[in-house]
Amino acid sequence: MNELIRVLHLDDKPAFAELTATFLEREENCLTVETEHSASDGLDRLREGDIHCVVSDYDMPTQDGIEFLRTVRREFPSLPFILFTGKGSEEVASEAITEGVTDYLQKGAGTSQYEILANRIINSVEQRRARDAVAETEQRLQSLTENTNDILWMFTGDWSELLFVNSPYEEIWGGSIDDLRVNPLSFMQNIHPDDRELVRQSMEQLSAGEPVEEEYRVNADEDFGRWVWIQAEPVFDDDGEVSQVVGFARDVTDRTEHKHELQRYESMVEASGDPIYTLDSEGRFTTVNTAFVELTGYSAESLIGNHASEVMDDAHVARGEQLIKSLLSSSKDNGTFELTLVTATGERIACENHLALLPFVGDFRGTVGVLRDISERVTQAQHLRDERDLLDEFASVVSHDLRSPLAVASGRLALAQEECDSDHLDTVERAHDRIEGLVRDLLTLAQEGDGIGETEPVELAETATRSWETVAMGDATIAIETEQTVEADVGRLQQLLENLFRNAIQHGSDDVTVTVGDVEGGFYVQDDGPGIPNELGCQIFDAGYTTSPDGSGLGLNIVREVACAHGWEVRLSPTSGDGARFEITGC
């Protein structure tokens, strides 16, 4: 032993005290001996500190060794104290032991007694130091275990005795440590009934010498709402038998709930009929669902880790990257763009990609996309464009190739009417007017379609007056009973009103009266003519439907197209009297 031991030797005989110090220091280099000759001086020296062991005589004039021992124990309860005396008796030894003496040695003849005394001193100090080290270690361990949120525990290998558990057990597990000490298996009561068999199997594994790692639910007071993660190991003795089992339990409720929530989302993604994928910040696939695999024809394994350009051309990849940059620089986190998906067989599928940024703090983590196959919609859009092209061509033919000869015919008719008066010529004039009406309505449908231009606040009364001036004839009159303003394309609104007015005049008497007034959310146009049967309420808006020999069957169809283009609704409303009433709402 190399560590210094400082000894206080108390003896009222200076010569013997000096002799003892000399021999002790010769026996062991680690010993340094200081001598005092009275109890009071010895106590003063102890109070100065740095003394590791006291060696005291029994017979001293003012205070004997037992009395000195009592005094020392009051102030230094764990300091090694050896009674080294020439008065050897069982009575003295018994009393010394009662007062807490560390060791007892009787003085003898010869120098061998100093070797024995030196050994006793060293052993006593080493034991004291060992106990202090253990106490310090235990204190640190206790401090560590009480400052962790994990449960640390130790049982005997057969689970018959609790050796250690720290305080987090009570909060996490919902059980009492005192109860656990009385019944080491009481912790089972706070494990979810469905998980207890799993725990029993884990306990058997540990007792058999196998480590375990499990997750299960605990805490009956909280309806077993806590999830714990357990790791445990067996401890073997010198014979290779399991003497203890030790482990820790960590509350992983938040993590487990997050994992279960993630599993639920994964199930939802798989159950979704839409192809769904995720990309990392570099544009590489990290997840694809079954629908995505089926759409593309690629396996999930062949896609994960590869760039999105595997199934998209460069132009659409660039479009997606531009959308991501836009989202990152704005407050939005999602957007939509169209792309063409290239399958494993080379088929090209038009898709709409609903893209969103993955949640992130700090660095961008990637995106999630939901695809919709819009091939049918794209085909329909192309079909509509083709139809529009045909209509444009038709409008050109009507405008030039039909109207030109009609203008010539009308001119010739006017000359013929100047030269003679014939009912046949009047019939031809009406036919020309019919053709002109058809041409006008067809051009409206072909050129305007169901679109509108820029909208603005429009005074309904002023537009109605202007529209009436265009179509008024005979003794027909108009009554305008509105002052409201509507948001509309003024030109298309005028077409709507003109066609409603013209419909009233064509189907009414020469002195028909048309009224324009207000209804909740819009306006109405009503006449006092013969009216329209209610059962024809929807049919009358179909293109080509007419009950008049002079009608084109397109007027009310144009009315519906204009209303729908504005986001309005038009309907034939029942009336209490004669006439037809059209209500336009949603303005």
Check: pTM over 0.75? Answer yes or no: no
- Nearest CA-CA partner of 372 in 360, 384, 355: 355
Q: What pLDDT does residue 470 have?
A: 79
Question: Between vectors from CA 393 to CA 388 and to CA 397, what angle results, nearest 5°?
Answer: 140
Q: What pLDDT does residue 444 have?
A: 60
Q: What pLDDT does residue 156 have?
A: 94
CA 559 to chain centre: 50
DSSP strand E in 80-141: where? 81-85, 103-106
Give domain limits for the chain.
5-142, 148-257, 272-373, 379-444, 452-585
Question: Between vectors from CA 262 to CA 259 and to CA 264, what angle results, nearest 5°?
Answer: 115
Where does 452-585 sit in CATH, by number?
3.30.565.10
Query: Measured between alpha carbons, how far is 305 from 293 in angstroms, rounded to an integer?
Result: 14
Exposed, middle or buried by CB within 10 Å (0-12, 13-18, 19+), for 354?
middle
SS3 of 454, please?
A: coil
Q: What pLDDT does residue 425 have?
A: 78
The superfamily CATH assigns to domain 5-142 is Response regulator (3.40.50.2300)
Contact assessment for residue 247 and residue 232, using Cβ atoms and an 8 Å cutoff: yes
437: which residues sit within 8 A by CB, 6+ positions away?
Answer: 550, 552
DSSP classification of residue 188? G
Class assignment of domain 148-257?
Answer: alpha beta
Q: What pLDDT does residue 245 have?
A: 92
Query: Measured between alpha carbons, how far is 211 from 291 in angstroms, rounded to an integer?
Result: 41
Query: Measured between alpha carbons, how far is 13 from 86 in angstroms, rounded to an integer?
Result: 12
- Nearest CA-CA partner of 165 in 156, 174, 155, 157: 155
SS3 of 160, please?
A: coil
Class assignment of domain 272-373?
Answer: alpha beta
DSSP strand E in 489-533: where? 513-519, 522-527
Query: Measured between alpha carbons, how far is 80 from 100 in angstroms, rounded to an integer?
Result: 9
Q: What pLDDT does residue 428 have?
A: 73
Q: What is the mean pLDDT of each run of 10 residues along the chain (587 residues)?
A: 85 89 89 91 92 91 88 93 81 86 85 89 90 72 68 92 90 94 95 96 95 94 92 91 92 72 59 84 92 93 94 92 93 92 94 90 89 86 70 62 70 80 76 65 57 85 91 88 93 90 85 94 92 73 62 75 90 81 91
371: which residues sit within 8 A by CB, 6+ positions away?
Answer: 274, 275, 276, 277, 292, 295, 341, 351, 352, 353, 354
320: which residues sit within 8 A by CB, 6+ positions away?
Answer: 308, 312, 337, 339, 353, 355
> What single string gives the DSSP state of each residue in 373-408?
E-HHHHHHHHHHHHHHHHHHHHHHIIIIIIHHHHHH
DSSP strand E in 363-465: where? 366-373, 456-459
Query: Measured between alpha carbons, how far is 279 from 282 in angstroms, rounded to an integer?
Result: 7
Q: Are 148-257 and 272-373 in the same CATH fold? A: yes
Token pair 């008066």 is found at 421
CA 238, 240, 246, 247 torsion-angle sign:
positive
**Helix 14-27 with 112-146: angle, nearest 10 deg:** 70
Query: Measured between alpha carbons, how far is 378 from 390 in angstroms, rounded to an integer?
Result: 18
CA 134 to chain centre: 49
